[in-house]
Structure 1
Amino acid sequence: MFAAETKAIIRSVGAEKNLISNTNLNKQMDLLTVVRIKRGHFWEFPKYKKIDCTLPDLLGEEKFSPDSEEKVLVEDFQTRVETGGSGKLEGGYEGKAEVSVSSDIVDGLVQPVSIKIKKVNLTAVRSKFSGRTINKQTLNLLKLKEKDKLAFVYETVYNTGPVTMIRKGNQQGCLSASFQKMAKMCVSVNKKEDTTFTVPENSTFAFSLVEINLEDGEMEIQLQSWDHKRGGLTSDALNCEIMEQVRDRIEMKESILMPLEGLPESTRGDLLKSLREVLKEEDALSELEETLDQSSKGSYECPQSVAVSSFMYLLDKSKVSTQVKDAALLLVSAMEALPEEMLRPLTSCGPEILTVLSQLVENLKDEGEACLPESPPVPLQQDGELHWAAKLLCSSDETLTELSEILDLPPEVLLEVLALTVLGVHMLQPRE
């Protein structure tokens, strides 16, 4: 929540143009951290992967502390929202119904917080590292692909003190009804909610990158920061034309996924179990995507991850067709666009839940909108671990835009990758 508020502040002062907010990476980012930028196999948006080294590490420099400058972006920022209200509804006809509700909600920061921007002295960095060569062994370890770019963190936005968020809610209500004086019922509701969490001080909420050009291993550092373009949208809403394009792309790519459904049930079940194991290893899903891409072009390098090796062994042992490998690559690429902590419950849930989510995707394709059934499975309900998926597939333009800001994906891509993930995982589920 605070990250969203921070982005709004950054945008309001005009500092967001080249800043990247990525929930998977932000808190890990320090100045000079090396990042790999790559384009998705099926979606034209940049994906960022932190590399566990700094710019000096690439050249074996043990001691390098460049000058940096800091300035206050926002001082003593405070946000607090209090909502209170009551309502009453009466109905007539042969019976009558009455509903009365009152609620009070407090949502915001416990104490003010200041936000700073810290920038490295880019002139000093260029003077130190431009024109120098990275040795071949280090280059091989980076595993850069043809379209990959290398960059380093040049600027960070962070909080100067701990940030404590609080949400308190109290809701009371009474529902009474009598129908033809035959029965009378009164149900009282009392709901209290109290949530508090603290973000540690010096947590990075956004960062900027400077690209490193490589020519035969020789580095040249760009003069300007990496232009973070999300692309795809010129407004904050998905208009009808864009939604039509999203539906067309889902239908087109669904046909690529279809070979998964034709696999023997035992093979599908084994592949799904193997995917769950991949999600338990950090960065393994990204490695699986790269390995599947190599495999689609012929041979592939032996994966470092045990889980990835197991998945590829299953494909090779089953002697699947090229179409099945393409389907697996599409599914993994769609999954890789979503945070891994969101994927684990999605790949582990039962057939009933995936059937409901798949129906939402079908409704989205056919009618352009979807809504949950009256009594959805518990994980899809308000406090369920997969409510986010149902909410996204049934979302309004406003909700979709908010979620895309949090996940740092264009709204139309976010909707597409979730839909394809749901369809692909559902195809791998054993039929009951």
Structure 2
Amino acid sequence: MFATATRNFVEEVDPGGLLIPVRSLNDVITLLTVVVRQKRFWFWQKPKHLPTDFTLNDILTGDTITPGVIETDFIKYNGTYGDNIQGTMDANFIHSNVNMEGKESSKLQSSFGSLKKDEVDVRKLLQDSKNRVLDMSHCLIQQTRKNRQVFSIVKERIVTCQPCCVIEEVQQTGQCAGTLSLCGPNSPKLSLKDNGSLSKDSNVTMEIPTNTTLAYALIELEVKHDGRYELCLMSNTKGGFEVDSPAGLQSVTDLASVLKNPEISRLRQELDGLRAHFQRLATLPSSIKSSLLQVITAVLEDRTALGALQSTLDRMLLDKNADVADVPLAHKENIQTVLDVLAESDKGSEESATVLSAVHLVTSALDELTTDCLAALRLCCSADVLKILDLLVKSITASEESPASGADPAALTEDILSSIEHLLASSKVTLRNDGDALRTEINHNPGNRPLIMCIALRGLYSLAHCL
């Protein structure tokens, strides 16, 4: 709840900016808190920031630094986010029929009230940092340097001014009705009817105390061999630890700039390079693909669940640790299902792309999407709609503008078509409905957004169909 609320807040007040949402109430973040930028698996992923229990003063030699603090009023914020999902299914057989109907509505209300912004006086911090040296023997520096990660310090934070709350309301209802009739020359006339219903309501309120950090911004540090450091004041200047060769230092910072403005040919090239991962998913047995698609669709409903799954897969790729002890109880069942499927699928496999890496690729792309995009995508996870979305992906990567052949807009409901349009627009892709065909066009300066969306859609399609 809290992580979803802070992410929604940042998406509203600073989209594409420098603010980073706080993920947990356990993260105690003050000015000059040391935050580690973790190396990611895919170059297009946003950096993952891990707040530590230390401040800049804890890893400095000599006297402590007393930062100048500028405190200003920020905004008054109250946000309500919700969606409604409704679906029906009718199946008719020779002697039986089944009717199922389901409805779900959810609402997340974030009442943060008046907020303030605390900022470090960067000019004073710059002056105080002259000729200062970090303690290179400190365990945090040793561990971070070993993994070639990057140090940052908190320069700004958005803080609550009074007690506030986050409220989540979920309502789920379902009905199932069926009849079975047996009749024939050698059987008695028999008719069975069954009706069932299920309802589930939840209402959770989280009280948030005064002076809780909701979001923060960072300054990265460029650290020399001898412990001297420089503040990276410009957004295009990246931090890191000095290494033995200039090429090594460059490798820490170049990853994010590999594909800032991909053209169509480069987008197609990147997707072709990931073909083995999509093929690995598509060739799985139908039962396994169905289980994976069902779990992934389920976690799209909850940003926290998706984050928990992503963190678990990160650990597995790093150290093969599949322990779910730290996973919140509400998400353990879904995540354990994925782990069981991965253990069985990759057993004795000699494929260059494992199921683990393929699933991690897809969930990494999903984790980069905004909350409203995930809600739109959740409505599009049926096999028929995913097929149309894959046709649109092929249209996006076409060398020349062409309609998405086979994507008939008349086959889509108005709600689904609106969801697809929103999904593409948020990824800097324009969808045009010409009446009998759908066309796509990448907007100017799209960044990595079209690539991320295409990976997510191609991955889900691979689980629903054979490539």
TM-score class normalised by the smaller sequence: 0.5 to 0.7
Q: Which residue in 2 is equivalent to 1:189?
A: none
Corresponding residue of 2:344: 317
Q: Does 1:357 align with 2:358?
A: no
Match of 1:287 in 2: 311
- 1: CA distance, partners of 2:214 / 2:384: 40
Instruction: Quote the Cα distance in structure 2 between the aligned partners of 1:400 and 1:65.
Output: 48
Q: Percent identity?
A: 14
Distance between the aligned counterparts of 1:257 and 1:419, measured in 2? 11
> Is residue 333 from structure 1 mapped to residue 364 from structure 2 by the alignment?
yes
Which of 223, 230, 233 matches 1:222?
230
What's the offset of the Cα at 1:357?
Answer: 1.4
Q: CA offset at residue 391 of structure 1?
A: 2.9
Structure 2 Cα separation of the partners of residues 58 and 301 of structure 1: 33
Q: Which residue in the other structure is 1:388 paired with? A: 422
Partner SS for 1:327 = helix
User: Which amino acid is 2:231 matched to?
Assistant: L
**Contact in 2 for aligned 1:33/1:55 (Cα 8 Å):** yes
Structure 2 match to 1:11: none
Q: Is the 8 A contact 1:156 1:208 kept in 2?
A: no
Cα separation, 1, equivalents of 2:457 and 2:129:
46
1:114 CA drift (Å)? 12
1:231 partner amino acid: S
Gapped runs of 5+ residues in structure 2? Answer: 1-7, 76-113, 162-209, 238-255, 432-440
Deviations 1:319-353 (A, max 9, x none): 25542333223223323333466336535732222
CA distances 1:78-132 after superposition (whole Å, capped 9, x unpaired): xxxxxxxxxxxxxxxxxxxxxxxxxxxxxxxxxxx999772255369859x9534
The question of whether the paired residues in 2 share the 8 Å contact of 1:259 and 1:327 is answered with yes
Q: How many residues align?
A: 321
Quick check: 1:211 aligned with 2:228? no
- Residue 414 of structure 1 aligns with an amino acid whose one-letter code is R
Unaligned runs of 5+ in 1: 9-15, 76-112, 161-199, 403-409
2:454 corresponds to 1:419: yes
User: Counterparts in 2 of 1:169-188, with a 5 A limit?
Assistant: none
SS of equivalent residue, structure 1 residue 411: coil
TM-score under structure 2 length normalisation: 0.52
Q: Deviations over 1:389-417 (max 9, x none)?
A: 133468249x9769xxxxxxx82411111
Structure 1 segment 22-421 matched on structure 2, within 5 A: 22=20, 31-43=31-43, 46-51=46-51, 53=53, 55=55, 66-70=66-70, 118-120=119-121, 122=125, 130-132=133-135, 146-156=147-157, 207-211=217-221, 213=223, 222-225=230-233, 227-228=235-236, 231=257, 242-276=263-297, 280-281=304-305, 283-294=307-318, 299-300=320-321, 302-303=323-324, 304-305=326-327, 306=332, 308-318=335-345, 319=347, 320-322=349-351, 323-325=353-355, 326-339=357-370, 342-343=373-374, 346=377, 349-366=381-398, 367-368=400-401, 373-374=409-410, 376-382=412-418, 384=419, 387-392=421-426, 395-396=429-430, 411-421=446-456
Equivalents in 2 of 1:5, 1:266: separation in Å? Answer: 40
Contact 2:428 2:442 in 1 (8 A): no
Compute the TM-score of the two structures, normalised by the length of structure 1.
0.55
Give secondary structure in 2 for the equivalent of 1:360. helix
What code does the residue aligned with 2:37 have?
I
Q: Which one scores higher on RCO, CA 8 angstroms, separation ≥ 6? A: 1
